[in-house]
Chains A and B, each alone.
Chain A
């Protein structure tokens, strides 16, 4: 799958991208909401993984404002996992809300779901 990752923490972005590539995915990325909004319209991604806390906005606003050429399977990452945070993610259109620090296996399970959905569509 083509996955677009939005994460401002340099180490997390670097290793998450390498990990996803190791799983066989193609990865594009951005480190801020502004950069993501610029890149997403032409990124042709199928999955969006976005941190909720970004330096110039948040993942919820990003997903609402992103001009995506087609629907994506969106996954939120956040250090905050209160019901209100999860509710906001759901309302913004995220399919899952992963609580940081999450185990990579959790992400793999969610990506399997995304792959199954894409294959069925």
Chain B
């Protein structure tokens, strides 16, 4: 019996590896552009305030408010990245909400809707994640193509199994 990891054609494996590499690059870039920048600003502000306190000077309430605001922003950025890395939560309704969020995120640049006529609950987290990644890759490919006008992400159940379709409305 062959190892499942060895199955699939070479082009398919390369496609998958390219998708993984692209995803890693995007996460790295997003970390650099958001969380790292915000944490850098926070580190400097904290040091500045500490210097003032140590030398007996006062610090303004507004500066502390700004520190809280910057920390909240960094937390939000970290959460957004965390959702990107682990989009499907472990509860059984997680795939529906993750696909809905994917549609909302996609709709920022291209019309996109999520359709799920009957609730589909996926109890198996790896299956849910695999379905999500398939949909995500399909959306990405459509976004890269020039002929799409709108995208529909459809979640349904066929023969008791969850199925995801990503359709381009041209």
Contact = CB atoms under 8 A, between A and B. Distances in A.
Given A11-B70, A15-B48, A19-B48, A102 B40 contact: yes
Question: What is the predominant secondary structure among interface residues of chain B facing chain A?
Answer: helix
Given A18-B48, A22-B52, A104-B47, A11 B32 contact: no
Contacts of B32: 53, 79-80, 100
A103 interface: yes
B140 interface: no
A19 B41 CA distance: 11
Contacts of B43: 101-104
A12 B47 contact: no
Contact of B37 (A14, A79, A104): A79
B37 A12 contact: yes
Contacts, number: 57
B44 interface: yes
Interface string A102-114: 1111000000000
A16 interface: yes
B131 interface: no
A95 B164 CA distance: 53
A9 interface: yes
B25 to A, nearest CB: 11
A22 B32 CA distance: 27
B120 interface: no
Q: How large is the interface on A (under 10, 10 to 19, 20 to 34, 35 or more residues)?
A: 10 to 19
A22 B59 CA distance: 13
A91 B48 CA distance: 32
A105 B50 CA distance: 12
B36 A79 contact: yes
Interface in B31-46: 31-33, 36-45
Contacts of A12: 37, 40-41, 44
Interface string A1-38: 00000000101101110110010000000000000000
14 contacts: A9-B40, A11-B37, A12-B40, A15-B45, A19-B45, A22-B51, A22-B52, A79-B32, A79-B33, A100-B39, A101-B40, A102-B40, A103-B43, A104-B44
Interface of B: 31-33, 36-45, 47-48, 51-52, 70
Nearest first, the 8 closest Cβ-Cβ pairs linking A and B are A79-B32, A101-B40, A11-B41, A104-B47, A101-B39, A79-B36, A12-B41, A9-B37
Given A11-B38, A22-B52, 4 more contacts: A15-B44, A19-B47, A22-B51, A101-B43
